[in-house]
Amino acid sequence: MDYQWDESLETGHETIDEQHKQLFTALISIIEASGEGHGKEEIVRTLDFLSEYTVRHFKTEEDLQKEFNYPGYSAHKKSHDDFKVTINEMISILKEKGPVKKLIDTVVKTIGDWLITHIKGSDLEMASYLKSKGAF
């Protein structure tokens, strides 16, 4: 699957879309670092950034959902919480086993597939609701 940002991922909310683009940029950095044979430190550093940035991004979304009483808040938050656990597990495995190509491919696929599925599903649904409430 191609993990590039495109218009099909746009929610219409400037901040959320910019944050989503940053998540894809981090994911692409992992792919490039792996392909260029960069060391474990660079790949782990990028994953650490991705982990920290998702927390900030999820807070942005969740704060908007709470402010506008989004009815899907609980399920959306659970999805975010589960993903944070997944990222941290991936980082731990990568730190333990090193930047083995097969492992990096698994990390990228897991994170990339989740981002695309989540944005095109839950986030676009949330954005539609928030737009109807005048949030943006």
Cα separation, 103 vs 128, in Å, equals 36
**Residue 119's pLDDT is what?**
97
Q: What is the mean pLDDT of residues 34-39?
A: 73
The per-residue pLDDT for 46 is 81
How far, in Å, CA of 24 to CA of 32, rounded?
12
pLDDT for the residue numbered 37: 73
Which residue did the predictor score with more confidence, 103 or 125? 125
Residue ranges of domains in the chain, CATH in brackets:
13-65+74-132 (1.20.120.50)
